[in-house]
Amino acid sequence: MSLKLISASSPSSTRKILNFRFLHGKQGSGCHGLSSLDLRFLTRKQSNAFRVSSEMESNIRPIQGLDWFDPLEELKTSEAFLVPSDPHQSLCRQSYVDECEKAVNEQINVEYNISYIYHAMYAYFNRDNVALKGLAKFFEKSSEEEREHALKLMRYQTMRGGKVELYSILAPLHEYDHVKKGDALYAMELALSLEKLVNMKLHQLQTVAVKNRDVQLVDFVESEFLGMQVESIKKISKYVAQLRGVGKGHGTWHFDQMLLKEGAAV
């Protein structure tokens, strides 16, 4: 293989000629100079701007059995690449079916509903006559986390060219005291059931994405939600077991102090 570089210049313009000559062949066959490629680049300053032109002289033959990729020809073969002219249509939407869009909106509603319930739990445990600050802090952070999940889904929806539709949110319970279990255990068991419900809804969203071969949505659900969800289920399961062990009264107070020190959310 040989490389030859020629550079020439003139007062009115700068001309650079690059000559690449490829010599190849089987050893001992005497076959050389199968192809050569000349590239000429001309730059000329015109009215405070540079004009760039190029020339290509080539006798390179395509490799047998290999077709050249022509992007412009590819664009002509399908209407999927056309940019919509309707101002009400998304410009970035591609391979995003209505069923996936609806499923994402439903998951947004799930996350907001769970966040609302956790917010009500926070308000209950923050009362002066309940005064379990650790549980109040735990459910406050859990509510914020679920709301952040909803916002993350909303950002994804608009990124894919979908429309966010917010549905109604039901009013949650305001009282969480339980005669046998006590308020702490009752609320934590309810939280565990809610986290399992969210996990099931996420699996349903993933199923819709797989059904429609939306690999981007599948990756989004798996990487951003599923792993975190099973970790939350495990954490709350441990809390339920601990509360069942300590019982009501003084044991609940010690558990609440532990949560207050940890400052952990779901």
| CATH code, domain with 31 | 2.20.25
Mean pLDDT of the chain: 83
* Confidence band, pLDDT 50/70/90 cuts, at residue 50: very low
122 neighbors 140 (Cβ within 8 angstroms): yes
Q: What is the CATH number of the domain that holds 190?
A: 1.20.1260.10
Whole-number Å distance between alpha carbons of 194 and 162: 27
Query: Residue 189 falls within a domain, yes or no?
Result: yes
Work out the angle between the directed axes of helices 227-246 and 250-262 (0-180°, nearest 10). Answer: 150
Q: Is residue 76 part of a domain?
A: no
Q: What is the domain range of residue 112?
A: 98-262
Q: How confident is the model at residue 5 (pLDDT cuts 50, 70, 90)?
A: very low
The answer as to whether 77 is a domain residue is no
* 95 DSSP assignment: S
If one counts every other C-beta atom within 10 angstroms of the C-beta of residue 136, the result is: 21
Q: Among residues 51, 33, 28, 31, which one has the least CA distance to residue 41?
A: 51
Give the model's confidence band at 181: pLDDT under 50 very low, under 70 low, under 90 confident, else very high: very high
- pLDDT, residue 54, reads 44
Query: What sign results for the dihedral spanned by CA atoms 79, 83, 84, 90?
Result: positive
Across the beta sheet with 49-58, the strand order is 2-9, 14-22, 35-46, 49-58
86 lies in some domain = no
On whether 189 is known to bind a ligand per the annotation, the reply is no
Q: Is residue 40 scored above 80 in pLDDT?
A: no
**Does residue 144 sit in the same domain as residue 234?**
yes
Q: 102 and 28 share a domain?
A: no
DSSP assignment of 212-244 equals TT-HHHHHHHIIIIIHHHHHHHHHHHHHHHHHH
pLDDT classification of 172: cutoffs 50, 70, 90: very high
Determine the distance from the C-alpha atom of residue 178 to the mean position of all C-alpha atoms in its chain, rounded to a whole number. 41
At 62, is the pLDDT very low, low, confident or very high (cuts 50, 70, 90)?
A: low
How far does the chain reach from its first CA to its final CA, in angstroms?
Answer: 64
Q: Say if residue 9's pLDDT is above 60.
A: no
The pLDDT value given to residue 22: 43
Residue 67 pLDDT greater than 60, yes or no: yes
Predicted local confidence at residue 160, as pLDDT: 97
**pLDDT in the model for residue 131:** 96
Could you tell me whether strands 14-22 and 35-46 are parallel, antiparallel, or unpaired per DSSP bridges? antiparallel
Cβ neighbours of 124 (radius 10 Å) = 21
Please write the tens of the pLDDT for every residue from 206-262.
999 999 999 999 999 999 999 999 999 999 999 999 999 998 889 999 999 999 988
Same domain, 105 and 43: no
Identify whether 124 is part of a domain: yes
**Backbone torsions φ then ψ of 62, nearest 5 degrees:** -60, 150
- The pTM of this model reads 0.72
Digit-coded pLDDT (tens) for 101-117: 999 999 999 999 999 99
Compute the distance between CA of residue 118 and CA of residue 16 in angstroms, rounded to an integer: 70
For residue 29, what pLDDT is reported? 47
Report the alpha-carbon distance of residue 3 to residue 20 in Å, rounded. Answer: 5
pLDDT confidence bin for 144, thresholds 50/70/90: very high
pLDDT exceeding 90 applies to what percent of the chain?
63
Task: Consult the annotation and say whether 216 binds a ligand.
Answer: no
Q: Are 226 and 204 in contact (CB under 8 A)?
A: no
Nearest to 182 by CA among 251, 112, 106, 79: 251
Angstrom distance (rounded) from CA 17 to CA 53: 12
Annotated ligand binding at 149? The verdict is yes
> Is 229 annotated to bind ligand?
yes
Length of the chain: 266
- Number of domains forming the structure of the chain: 2
Q: Does 146 appear as a known binding residue? A: yes
Q: Are residues 28 and 113 in the same domain?
A: no
